[in-house]
Amino acid sequence: MSFPTNFVWGAAASAYQIEGAWDEDGKGPSTWDMFTRTPGKIWEGHTGNIACDHYHRYKDDVAMMADLGLKAYRLSVSWPRVLPDGAGRVNDKGLDFYDRLVDELLSKEIQPWVTLFHWDFPYALFLRGGWLNPESPKWFAKFTEVVVSKLSDRVKHWITLNEPQCFIGLGMGNGEHAPGFKLDMREGLLAGHHALIAHGRAIEAIRSKSKQPAQIGWSSAGGVYYPATQSPEDIAAARQATLSVYSESVWNNSWWCDPVVFGHYPEEGLRAYGEAAPRFTAAEMKVISTPMDFYGCSIFFGVAVKASSSGSVVIARQPPGHPHSHYLWKHTPTALYWGPRFFTERWKLPMVITENGMSNSGDWVSFDGRVHDAARIEFMSSNLLQLEKALREGVDVRGYFAWSIMDNFEWAEGYKHRFGLVHVDYETQRRTPKDSAYWYGDVIRSNGGALDKFASAGTDAPPYVIKETMRYINAHLSEMFNIKDLAAHMRCHPDFLSRKFKKHTGVDLSLYIRRIRIDHARELLKNPDLLIDDAAEQSGFTDRIHFSKVFRRLTGQTPGQYQRQFRVERDASLHTPLKPKNPRSVHA
């Protein structure tokens, strides 16, 4: 087993969670610096004032990363460390820290991936309205220009925003994160709209100021739902749940990602949010959709769903005793297969897994001086095997960043959770690489080959002919073709191709083609204004009657019956029996 030759293997952290030095060398306060002073907001009153003291120990930390074999490190730049007032005066000492950090990484042949905003908003700008201020995108663009002008001669990979679903939903929705607001949906979505404009402005700034060709993306964090079974009905239910917008929550994917990729909010979202949806201009949407190069996403776990007898999406309950992390997030490695599959189907951008990891309650230094975290090795190996499966089936994933390089400040949870590959003793600041860190180093050096011993017997990678067949089918869904056409493309006999496909997938090739076409048609028919004839044609059917028969045979509904559930008025509720909540919320 191996990953693509140029696959990026890395680990991640963020400024507030590891740097400390909260008021040193001219740094201004962030909203998190102020929020952690509020009694009762952070577990046991912890703060990030010192955290992992990375600001003073970065050289040793980078040396440790190199010893572990990291090829890339995803860091974030603290906005108020560089611009103490959020705008205007540049703090040279703060900017110089990141200059030295980048040099240190490159000296160890570790590729820096720089995130521009990972939640530590300048307190001075918060006092001017923060993300609610329509000037906030310009503030962020100016900050971006300062950082890119300094670092872009050496930094090629940039991430604009980290997880807007979190810093808007938790910071401005339920008040559990900084700045601690409990705004109504209208105000929260307005702040989110400004953040999306800031994302676009940042891309413009990077393209304008970068001293070398840049690779730019962002990091989203909406939930992943995966099918309880492999039935077409459950797969369609999981896709629907993953891509739907829910009227009572900002925890979703499409409301945030459709504007960034397509230049418009999803119609389903506009109906779900109704009058709470922000007013916007065509010019704003053009900025928001400034082209980016990759789609980053944090995936920690998924939720199993299935289609009910009535056709709605319902949660498939896990049996008692199902394994979970210290955070009580279920161990569901298949999320790292279905999430990338659904996301690339919709947004058609190369993917990077920007965060994936687990909080383990058993991470302590043993008598032998080591940290034995077998559960994390099991978690990462099973997740990476699912990611490799997605790659084999043609999903374009370019990299994987483990969360996190070291234990750190876990926001409202303080130091309760340990996500790191490296154990941190916060009293002494001693670093102890865990067993998982050494294991991950082996995975990196072997480019995934070390995962072979974790793969079940009989799970050999399918040959090229199977992967190319799957890729061709997905790439030509709107075209009319049959197995003979596929075989001609593959330069083999149709019978050979059919036998080979059945042997390696367990599914008849003709049935597989029909299922993929109907899955595509289901997604199209979520648009209540689309004609069924058009859905049939765009799914590769020339005969509506034949399309309707196949659709009913595979789904139990006619195309019209399926589409009817989406024909609702703008102010009607569209949510399913699911009630998504951000998993970082203590009330989730």
In this structure, the answer to whether residues 225 and 351 fall within a common structural domain is yes
Domain boundary (408, 435, 454) is at 454
- Separation between Cα atoms, residue 580 and residue 582, nearest integer Å: 7
Q: Where among 454, 487, 515 does a domain terminate?
A: 454
Is residue 186 assigned to a domain? yes
Q: Are residues 352 and 471 in the same domain?
A: no
How many structural domains comprise the chain? Answer: 2
Please, are residues 477 and 463 in contact by the beta-carbon 8 Å criterion? no
488 and 342 within one domain? no
User: The domain that contains 179 carries what CATH number?
Assistant: 3.20.20.80
394 part of a folded domain:
yes
Closest CA to 178 of 167, 163, 189, 186: 167
- Let me know whether 479 and 433 are in one domain: no
The pLDDT averaged over each successive group of 10 residues in the chain (588 residues) is 91 98 98 97 98 98 98 98 98 98 98 98 98 98 98 98 98 97 97 98 98 98 92 94 95 98 98 97 98 98 92 88 94 97 98 98 95 95 96 96 98 98 98 97 96 64 78 88 90 88 84 91 85 93 92 89 65 51 76
Q: What is the pLDDT of residue 573?
A: 35
Whether residues 351 and 279 fall in one domain:
yes
Select from 406, 429, 454 the last residue of a domain: 454
Are residues 428 and 478 located together in one domain of the fold? Answer: no
In a domain, 369, yes or no: yes
Residue 578 lies in a domain: no
Tokens at residue 495, please?
């019978």
- What domain range includes position 96? 8-454
Please check whether residue 469 is in contact with residue 490, taking contact to mean a CB–CB distance below 8 angstroms.
Answer: yes
Strand (E) or helix (H) holding 158: strand 157-162
Same domain membership, residue 490 and residue 436 = no
Amino acid identity, position 386: Q
Is residue 575 in some structural domain? no
Q: Which of 104, 176, 268, 355 is catalytic?
A: 355
Catalytic residue, chosen from 104, 163, 388, 523, is 163
Q: Could you tell me if 409 and 546 lie in one domain?
A: no
163 has catalytic annotation: yes
Instruction: Give the pLDDT of residue 567.
Output: 62
Residue the block writes with tokens 């663009």: 141
In a domain, 47, yes or no: yes
Query: What integer pLDDT is reported at residue 462 of this predicted model?
Result: 65
Same structural domain for residues 417 and 482?
no
The domain that contains 512 carries what CATH number? 1.10.10.60
Report d(CA 305, CA 227) in Å as an integer: 5
Q: What is the pTM of this model?
A: 0.81
Whether 570 is in a domain gets the answer: no
Same domain, 446 and 514: no
The predicted pLDDT at position 507 comes to: 81
Q: Residue 310, by phi and psi: left (phi above 0), alpha (psi -120 to 50) or beta?
A: alpha
State yes or no: is 388 an active-site residue: no
